[in-house]
Amino acid sequence: MCGKQPSEALVVNCEDCCDRRNDRLQLLKDTLDRSLVYLIPPTPASYTGRAYVPLTLTLNNPEPVAVELEVTVTLPAGFSYVTSTPLASVNAQGQVVWHITLAANATQTLDWSLRAPLASGVYSGQIEVKQFYGATSVQVGSTPLTIEVKGIDVLMPKLIADLKALTFASSQEREARDHALDSLAAAQGKLATAEYDNAIESFAEAVKEVQIITRIPVTPYRLSIDAMMKETQRRWVDALPPCPARPQCRAM
């Protein structure tokens, strides 16, 4: 331990010891800060509702000795933990926690996945890393975890507004746009009554109509419909009873 000693010589030696330990601790802090900032892959611009969100954190230990680390992830509100490698535990506060012994000059990668909520919004959590010295812990890294969700509640009104704003010289393309709008309205109605399979069919019809439009780029509209179809599929699966309740069931 660092502190006063009875002889001057021992005081000097202790201070040297403390300086070396503090230098190593600062080096670990600096390295972990860089890991937290740069080695978490950038998340996509946004996820759709109930999307599977994969995340990775890489930790580096520059010290010449092994270190005991605790990594704690405070999940963004509404997100749920799915799985991780290596396997983490979930504490009483709902935080995802790893206890890791990181060998000297070693690297450890943590892969984990979350499930997004349905509601659109920007959600924030926190990642913290602590180093343990026996019963004492010191925070050596911290970074926010921010994830944006753009669900059907945001995508649908924007897509409808964008399609309505289009102008066409061709009556065929104008009719295709109008039919696509009808299909989207039908999908909205089916979603409101939890008829998810029928809503997916309506989305598929909307895609067919949009593909008829060739004189302007329609890829953004097709991608928006595709994102809404994926969210609808997740809603459908979530609504199914656990297997083996009936032929259509949800694996736990």
Which CATH code for domain 39-149? 2.60.40.10
Structural domain boundaries in the chain: 39-149, 152-239
| Residue 37: pLDDT over 50 | no
pLDDT higher for 47 or 15?
47
pLDDT given at position 184: 98
Amino acid at 160: I
On whether the CB atoms of residues 183 and 211 are closer than 8 A, the answer is: no
Report d(CA 252, CA 244) in Å as an integer. 10
| Residue 6: pLDDT over 80 | no
For 78-102, write each residue's pLDDT tens digit. 999 999 999 999 999 999 999 999 9
Element (H, E) at 57: strand 52-60
Most confident of 11-15, 67-71, 162-166, 241-245: 162-166
Q: Is the dihedral of CA 201, 203, 207, 213 positive or negative?
A: positive
Instruction: Go through the chain and tell me how many residues it has.
Output: 252
For 192-225, write each residue's pLDDT tens digit. 999 999 999 999 999 999 999 999 999 999 999 9
Which backbone phi and psi does 114 adopt, to 5 degrees?
A: -125, 165
